[in-house]
Structures are given as structure tokens and as C-alpha cells.
Amino acid sequence: MSAATEAPPEPAPAPVLEVRKPPVRKRLVPYWLLLPGILWLLVFFAAPLVYQASTSIQTGSLEEGFKVTWHFATYWDALGEYWPQFVRSVLFAAVATLLCLVLGYPLAYLIAFKAGRWRNVVMILVIAPFFTSFLIRTLAWKTILADSGPVVSALNSLHFLDVTSAIGLTEGTRVLATPLAVVCGLTYNFLPFMILPLYTCLERIDPRLHEAAGDLYAKPVTTFRKVTFPLSMPGVVAGTLLTFIPAAGDYINAELLGSTDQKMIGNVIQSQFLRVLDYPTAAALSFILMAAILAMVTLYIRKAGTEDLV
Amino acid sequence: MRWLRRNAVVIAGLLTLAYLILPNVIVMVFSFNKPNGRFNYEWQRFSTDAWSDPCGVADLCGSLGLSLQIAVWATIGATVLGTLIAFALARYRFRARSSVNTLIFLPMAMPEVVMAASLATLFLNMGIQFGFWTILIAHIMFCLSFVVTAVKARVMSMDPRLEQAAQDLYASPTQTFLKVTLPIAAPGIAAGALLSFALSFDDFIITNFNAGSTVTFPMFVWGSAQRGTPVQINVIGTAMFLIAVLCVLGGQLFTGRRKRS
Amino acid sequence: MTDLATTDSSGGDVRLTGISKTYGSFTAVQPLDLTVPAGSFFALLGASGCGKTTTLRMIAGLEEPTTGTVELAGKDVTALPPYKRPVNTVFQNYALFPHLDIYENVAFGLRRRGVRSVKKQVEEMLDLVQLGPLARRKPQQLSGGQQQRVAVARALINHPQVLLLDEPLGALDLKLRRQMQLELKRIQTEVGITFVHVTHDQEEAMTMADTVAVMNGGRVEQLGAPADLYENPGTTFVANFLGTSNLITAEIAETGGEHLLLTAGDAKLRLPAARCSASSARTGEKVLAGVRPEKVALAHADDAGSIPEGANRLPGRIKDASFIGVSTQYVIETPGAGELAVYEQNIERDGRLVPGAEVVLHWNPAHTFGLSADQDIAAGADVDEEAA
């Protein structure tokens, strides 16, 4: 556009070797597009994390105010007091993630390859529950797993609960207020986050690859192990991350379906922040949780070998 | 037995589907319950009382209205800001690209409780009054990344030659954007907006930290889990579920018919 | 839109002056001057990455030239954005708008220029490309050939002064491509608009264009009518890229007179002095003597006596023979000139011409062309035709 001013006014016989550059205004366009959204994230996402970091090394009380005293001991104290909740969070989240994978894979596979004209219907059934508040749906599990309900009586008569009691998942003849109930709730709540990325990944696999594998002497099980599953790895990685991260920080399921013995780290942060009003401890716990998750995720992505998740 | 083995995947998939749907069925059935006492966890007898008077519980419909209001504004805000970022990322090369990508990715990889507590710390330290605005700010913040991801994927898969073709056919940059770029990116933007709405409407953890004494619908449900769960909660949940299913089915029928004609 | 140059259907000429394009340190197009006469069908031919598409995009305004100017019908349009140039493009892979139906795709340009009633024009144009009944389909519901015709209709309806075609037939299968080549040529003759066609397919360029510019490494190697380029290639690249050439390294033994006398190994060849493009042709210097495979005849060694007097001859042995249908293609191993290709029409096949047979190659010296020996003898020979 500015080239008009640079072009020579009269027809020159020799080639005009004048170099044009894109105008500065044009080069700034992406920055203008980014500005409002990035500013929003910087102010309301990044800055709070910095604030949080400083809070975690403050001491003081609500009445006198808090001051930065580089009191790193908060971290040690918090870890020392709440390590069982940390371990429990990671453990529950890991088990729930594994269950999500085991339960979700067949359904994603079903939608991608077997559903045919029912594909859309099944998809709707997977997504639609989202629109009922997840709190209401979690409360429904209280009814399903009620002590006198049909599910628990069936599990009892099959002696299933004897087995789970033996390995510490349940206590006596109850399911509610046990680790089993909390893991069950976590699995339920984050299952769609496993199914959707798995489905998107499986859907892109050319069904002819299955035929090719069969043609090359692979039994269905071998086809799955050697062809389908390796090709779905990006979906598996994305799905497990999308399940594990929120599950590890969750406190709804532990609160609604568990007892005081099933509290997770999310419960602790919430009560420290909103009830006890011990902000430094809440901040320190948040940071430990964040660091632990980031470390685990980085390690996991390295191992799984896919970094193009975004 | 052979039939069982051949259809093992289908059976396992359907069982998972049942696991996903079961709570919704329970919610629906118990919306017709008439419980004894304050909690609606055990079946007593059939009644349509709650359906005939869904707002019959104090504060319930108020909190629902507030949640819808926040969801609408958060959707608009996150969609506008997120679409702008997505276009910048998909259409331009610039220096800060990878840092921007990281900043977009982090909120999605962060446990909600961490974001919730840090944002609340900021508001506390700034002395900002908790309420409608703090909730809205928080919701736009965590919805933004999802919009960027959805829109970016759509714009990236769009052939840049389409915009060049429009320019070649006498469309000015503005016309090109309005007549070609925007319509083609629309499904991505719509997906991002829909996701934002659902996330915002259903959010509890971040809202719980940043709401002060303001009560959104999820917070009302949370509170009632402690004080007593009115049947009306199930009515609202079931209604939302049915509306969503009907909207999707209607949309499917509409596009299906258009394709055939 | 008012400053849009007049768009009557007579073509305008395109004049590029000192135009070049660099991306960072990479030069896509070297400064070049090029004039495309009004109403002509002009082809830019070259392998992928030779700068032909970049040149086309600079004419369209989609790429801003680093240096130089673009003139359309005597008007400098270098500073005009694409939407203000009386030029339309048929894009590679067509770039049809997926959200609009065929009718709206074709009407797009007219609507942008504020034309009120587009119905009559659009219907006429759809009839011209025989797509009338499909007007309300979406592009993705059409076959490749139909999409291609929509892309042409969408551009032509605007009566541009120049129509630019960027590999318009690249995505079609061979048979359809041949059919569309004739179709496009017919349309061009009918509407009289200047066509500038970019392609990597030398056969396509030669079938359709009045004038072909062969591009290589961001430069125009040679420009001329198809037959002229084929018969008188000026460089080894053109000789090898346009069809196949036998290039023989030879030494000039004698100058003066109508023919140069060359020696290649033991053989003596004659080359018309007028057809030698080497800058200097003095005795003792090297030149490349070229001859097209179809101009060479094969005689079995036993029949060597029947070869006409004065023909260029080379003895050799058949290394390979492949039957193509209309012709048989031989590879002949010669002692003085390496491997040579010979295409023989299948009129009367000599049963003795099988691999291993001793033969004599011979051709009329008038078919020999001479090239400067200081260039790569294999340039342009192994270019992948499918890479575009």
C-alpha cells in the first residue's frame, strides 16, 4: 500500500531495483489481536500465581495482616501435616484415570468403528449429561450407592464387598463414605474427558488399516495391540492428562461421597482458604500440588513421546 | 459364547454408556419423588409437586438466573477475546508465539483449585469486593483457553487460498473477513462458545473461591447437599438435560434435511 | 470499487519490468522483464520451486514484488491490492468457497463489485461450463472436473483483462486433463482474454499456449512459440525439460561454410552453423550436439549401406527396447556418445532390432542443434513431473 509513494513517478527504462518492505502497521496486527486476551490471562491467571507464591512465604495473622518473611518452613509444615492427603489424591486420581481408560476405550472404539448410523445418538448420550450440573449428578450417586439400595445388596450377595474390604477399598457392607465411592465418583465425573480425545484420535484411523493387518496374518487381538492401540496413543495421552489433572485437584467427590478419612488435598486447600483463613498454608499447598502435577505430567509426556498436545 | 466374544467391545462400550447415563436417569426419576424429610436420596412415592412449582424453594431460581446471566456474559467475553488470539496464532508469524502458546495451555493443565485460590488471593490483596464481577472475571479467564483451542484448530485447517481467492474476486479485506473467513471459522467459534457456556454454567470450584456471598446455581446445589436437597434441583437438572438433548436432536434433523434437499 | 480499471472483454497486455521477489535470503524470482501480448495464451513452464507461481501471484497482487513494476494494459498496478486489479485467478485446487453453493461462488465477484442483478449473467456462465443443473450444490459435492469448471466460471464471469491459471489441471486425472486442455483453449479463443497459465507439465504448456516461457531457478531460460522452443532449445535445461534430447559432447573440427564439422569419438557429425547457439564456435572447442529421439532412424548393421549419403551416423548396439504402442523406444549404447534414445514409429518393424543387435543410428544433419558445452548436460532431465 505504501508502495505507491515509493514507485518512481516517471517510467524508468532500467529495472527499478527499489526494495519494498511491509508497512509497520501491518506487522503490528497480530499483537493488537493478542493484546486484550493475553492481558486478561496475564492479570487474572499469571499475576495471581505470582501473588500466590509470595503469599506462601508470608507469616502473620488475619488481624495484623500478612508480611513476606521468606518463611519457607510453611512448605515443610504443610507437607508434614498433609502428606497423607497428597498421597491419597495422587493415588485416587491415578486409579480413577486407569478406570476411565479401561471403561472409556471400548466406548470410544464403539463410537468410532461400530456404531454406524447410531454414532450421533451415542455421541449425544455421552455429551448430554454435561448439561445437568455435575453436582446434581454426583449427588445421584448417593442414591445409587445407598446402604439399603439394590446396588449395594447385589455387591454384598456376590461377596464383592468382602474382597474390596480385604484390600481396604471399602469397610464392612457399605460403599458410601469409602475410597471405593470416591474413586467411583471421580471415574464417573471425568470419563467424558477420556472418551472425547480417544474418539477424535480413533476416528482418524483408516479402517482399511484393520483390513491390511488382517490380510497380513494378524488376529483381531494382535491387530488391536500392534496397529490400533499404538495409533491411538496421542488420544490416550491427552485423555489421561485431561482426567488425571482435574481429578488430582478435585474435592467435590471426596466431600459428597467420602467421609473425613477420604479427604483429598483439594479439600485441605479449600478449608484452609475458606474456613481456617490460613492463606500461607493454602498457598503453599497449592504450589506443592501444582509443582507435583507439572513434574508428573512432564515426565509422563516425555515417556509417552508426544509433545504436540496443544 | 462365540457371539459374546465377537461382540465383547460393543457390550463393554454399552456398559460404560449405561454407567454414564445412570445418574441422569436417577436424577430424572427422583424429580418425581416426594421425600420424607429434607433429603431426596430415598424413593418414597410418586408426585409431580416439584414439576408444578420449580421455583418453590427460596433462592433456587434466583441462583439459576444468576448462573445463566454469568454464563452468557462469560461466553461472549471469552469467545471474543479467544477468537482474536486464535486468529493471531493461526494466521501470523511473530516472535512471542511459543510463550503465548504456553500461556494458553497452562490454565487447561492446572488443577482448578490452584487457579481458584490464587485468583482469590489477588482479589483479597487488592481489596476487591467479591461478587458478580469477580465471578465473571474468573469465568472468562478459564474459558478463554478452550475457545482459543477450538477456533485455532478450525482456522488452521482452513485453506489460506480461500481468502486470497476472495481478494482476487474484488472483496476488500473487510469483505473478505465477513464473507469468507468468518463463515468458515464459524463452526469452531460456535464450538468454543458452547463449551464456554457449559463450563461457566457448571463451574463450582473457581466460583466457590471467588463468589463471596453471591450464590450461583452450582453453589446452591452444594449448599443444599449440606442443608437438605429439594426435589426442585432434580427438576432443573432434568429440564436442562432434556433441553440440551432436544436442541442437539433438532439441530441434527435440521442439517440432515438440508443435506438431503 | 470505482477505481477499478475498465473491464471490457478484450484482453490487455501484461508488462513486468525488473520484477523480483526475495524471502529473507532466498530469491524466488530473479529480476525479470516479460511482456505478455494482449489476447495471447501465455504459459509459464518450469519445475516446482522455479518461481513461476510467485511470478503469477505478483501479477495477481497476492504477492508484493521486492523490486520492479507490474503494468496491465499500460497502467501501473504494482501498488494496487488484488481486489482492485482487473485480473482474476483460477487457483491450484480451485479454492472454491466451501460454505457457498456453486451459484454463489460464481456470483461472488459480481456481488463484491455491487452488481445488482446477477441472475442472468450467472446462469449464462453456468451454461457455458455446462453446470446449470448443479447451481445449488456445494463445491464438495462436485467431482474434480466439475469443480475445475466452477473455478473457471467464477473467474471469467468478471470479464478480467487477464485470467491467471495456477496449475489449474494439476488435480485431474490424465484423460480429464487432456479434455480440459482443449476446453480451456476453446474458451480462450472464444472470449479473447489474455491467459497466463502456470504449469509444470510441458505437454500441457505446448498444447495450449501460443507462447511458452521456460523458467528455472527464478529465471526465464527461454521464451518462444512451443514448436520453436522444441526445435531450437537454447540451453540444456530447455532441451531436456521439453521432451527428451540426445546431447552428445563433440569437438569442432572444421568451421566455415553452412555446416560445422564435429567429431565425437570416431564419428563425424555435421551441425548447421545457424543452429548452433554456443557463443563462440572455433575449431578445437567443445560443443554439445543435440538431436531429438524421434528424428533418429535405426538401421541394422547389415543394412548400413542403404543409409542416405550425407546423413549423420553413429554405430551402436541396442541395449533396451520398449514397445509403447505407437512407437518403440530404444536405448542404444554407442562407443563415442554414450547412451542415446531413439523412438521408431511402429510402421514396419524390423524383427532383427532386438537387444544385443548391432545397429547404425542416422539422421538428417538439419535436425541437429548445437549448445554451449559449458553447462550441465543433464540439467532439467530428471525433474519429477508430478511434484508441483
Residue-level pLDDT, tens digit, chain A, 310 residues: 333 333 334 433 444 455 666 667 777 888 999 999 999 999 999 999 998 888 888 887 777 777 788 888 889 999 999 999 999 999 999 999 999 999 999 999 999 988 888 888 888 888 888 888 899 999 999 989 988 888 888 888 888 888 888 888 888 788 888 999 999 999 999 999 999 999 999 988 888 888 888 888 888 888 888 888 889 998 999 899 999 999 999 999 999 999 888 899 999 999 998 888 888 999 999 999 999 998 888 888 887 765 444 3
Handedness of CA C274, C276, C277, C278 (dihedral sign): negative
- Is this complex's ipTM strictly greater than 0.85? yes
Domain identity same for C202 and C283: no
Domain ranges of chain A: 86-304
Please give the grid coordinates belonging to residue C182: 482443449
Tell me, yes or no, if B60 comes closer than 8 A to chain C by beta carbon. Answer: no
User: Which chain C residues contact residue A16 at CB under 8 A?
Assistant: 17-18, 67-69
pLDDT at B29: 93
Mean pLDDT for C158-180 is 87
Q: Residues C20, C24, C28, C32: what is their CA dihedral angle, to the nearest 10 degrees?
A: 20
CATH of domain A86-304: 1.10.3720.10
Tell me, yes or no, if B244 comes closer than 8 A to chain A by beta carbon. Answer: yes
Residue A32 to residue C175: CA distance in whole angstroms: 50
Domain identity same for B196 and B248: yes
User: Which chain C residues contact residue B173 at CB under 8 A?
Assistant: 81
Residue A175 to residue A159: CA distance in whole angstroms: 13
Residue B57 to residue B52: CA distance in whole angstroms: 12
Domain identity same for C213 and C261: no
Classified as helix, coil or strand, C369 is strand
- Secondary structure, 3-state, B94-152: CCCHHHHHHHHHHHHHCCHHHHHHHHHHHHHHHCCCCCHHHHHHHHHHHHHHHHHHHHH
Alpha carbons within 13 A on the beta-carbon side of B211: 19
Please give the grid coordinates belonging to residue A299: 515426565
pLDDT at residue C3 tops 60: no
Please judge whether B104 and A249 are an interchain contact, meaning their C-beta atoms are less than 8 angstroms apart.
no
With beta carbons less than 8 A apart as the criterion, state whether C275 and C368 touch.
yes
Amino acid found at A31: Y
Q: What is the DSSP letter of A44?
A: I
Number of structural domains (chain C) is: 2
Domain identity same for C185 and C251: no
With beta carbons less than 8 A apart as the criterion, state whether C30 and A17 touch.
no
B contact residues 148-167, partner C, Cβ 8 Å cutoff: 159, 161-162, 164-167
- Does any domain span residue B85? yes
For testing contact with chain C, the best of B159, B170, B181 (most C CBs within 10 A) = B170
* Range of the structural domain that residue B32 is part of: 2-43
pLDDT at C346: 85
* Closest listed residue to residue B46, CA positions, set B66, B61, B31: B31
Tell me, yes or no, if C156 comes closer than 8 A to chain B by beta carbon. Answer: no
pLDDT at C198: 94
> Is beta strand C369-372 parallel, antiparallel or unpaired with respect to C286-291?
antiparallel
pLDDT at residue C385 tops 50: no
pLDDT at B203: 93
For residues C12-48, b (16+ Cβ closer than 10 Å) or e, as one string?
bbbbbbbbbbeeeeebbbebbebebebbbbbbbbbbe
Number of structural domains (chain B) is: 2
Please judge whether C64 and A3 are an interchain contact, meaning their C-beta atoms are less than 8 angstroms apart.
yes
Domain identity same for C173 and C254: no
Tell me, yes or no, if A60 comes closer than 8 A to chain B by beta carbon. Answer: no
Domain identity same for C177 and C267: no
Please judge whether B144 and A266 are an interchain contact, meaning their C-beta atoms are less than 8 angstroms apart.
no
Domain identity same for B36 and B67: no
* Closest listed residue to residue A160, CA positions, set A152, B11, B12, A95: A152
How far away is chain A from the Cα of B39, in angstroms, using its nearest Cα?
10
Classified as helix, coil or strand, C21 is strand
Question: Using CB atoms, which residue from A132, A249, A274 is nearest to B240?
Answer: A132
* Closest listed residue to residue B82, CA positions, set A70, C55, A38, C360: A38
Amino acid found at C275: R
User: Which chain A residues contact residue C81 at CB under 8 A?
Assistant: 1
Domain identity same for B182 and B215: yes
Mean pLDDT of chain C: 86
- Does any domain span residue B51? no
- Alpha-carbon C31 to chain mean position: 21
Domain identity same for B103 and B7: no
pLDDT at A20: 63
Q: Could you tell me the pLDDT band of residue B260, with boundaries at 50, 70 and 90?
A: low
Chains with at least 3 CB pairs less than 8 angstroms from chain A: B, C
Residue C57 to residue A286: CA distance in whole angstroms: 55
Domain identity same for C98 and C140: yes
* Range of the structural domain that residue C182 is part of: 14-231
Tell me, yes or no, if B65 comes closer than 8 A to chain C by beta carbon. Answer: no
Helices and strands per DSSP (H, E), number in chain A:
17, 2
pLDDT at residue C6 tops 60: no
pLDDT at C11: 54
User: Which chain A residues contact residue B249 at CB under 8 A?
Assistant: 124
Please state the pTM of the whole predicted model. 0.80
